[in-house]
Amino acid sequence: MKDIEHYTTQSKAQMHDAMTPLIKSMYSEFKEISKKKPESAVSKNKIKIANRLLERLRIILADEDTIEFLDILDEDDVPQASDVTLILSQYVASMEAFHDKYFGWDGSNRTWYIK
């Protein structure tokens, strides 16, 4: 059996599984927008939608070292599509690191390492 050093909670593992497809999809959409018009302003409604997801991801990543580098979008600043893409890419990378840290082979199954 593998000597597991890091554990997460069932709640965070479930949230990760539910939120990862959403952040990857959002990142992909903004990446396409950014390729076409990187300086285009992002609507306040899209910022609200993105922030709602980012707030949930921050719960999952709250105890991770990367949290201090993960920003929420400023609704009053009206960011450009390229800015949003950069921020979302950091969340995607952090979620992948979370998965790599807490999910793997336990000696008999590929599973989340839950305490």
Q: For each successive 10 residues of the chain (115 residues), what is the average pLDDT? A: 81 98 98 94 95 98 97 92 97 98 93 93
Q: So what's the pLDDT on residue 1?
A: 44
- Supply the pTM of this predicted model: 0.93
Q: Where are the alpha helices (DSSP H) in 1-115?
A: 10-36, 44-60, 81-102
| 81-91: b (≥16 Cβ within 10 Å) or e | bbbbbebbeeb
Q: So what's the pLDDT on residue 110?
A: 95
Q: So what's the pLDDT on residue 2?
A: 55
Would you list the domain boundaries of the chain? 10-106
109: left (phi over 0), alpha (psi -120 to 50) or beta: beta
Instruction: Look at residue 37 and give its three-state secondary structure.
Output: coil
Task: Compute how many other C-beta atoms are within 10 angstroms of the C-beta atom of residue 103.
Answer: 16
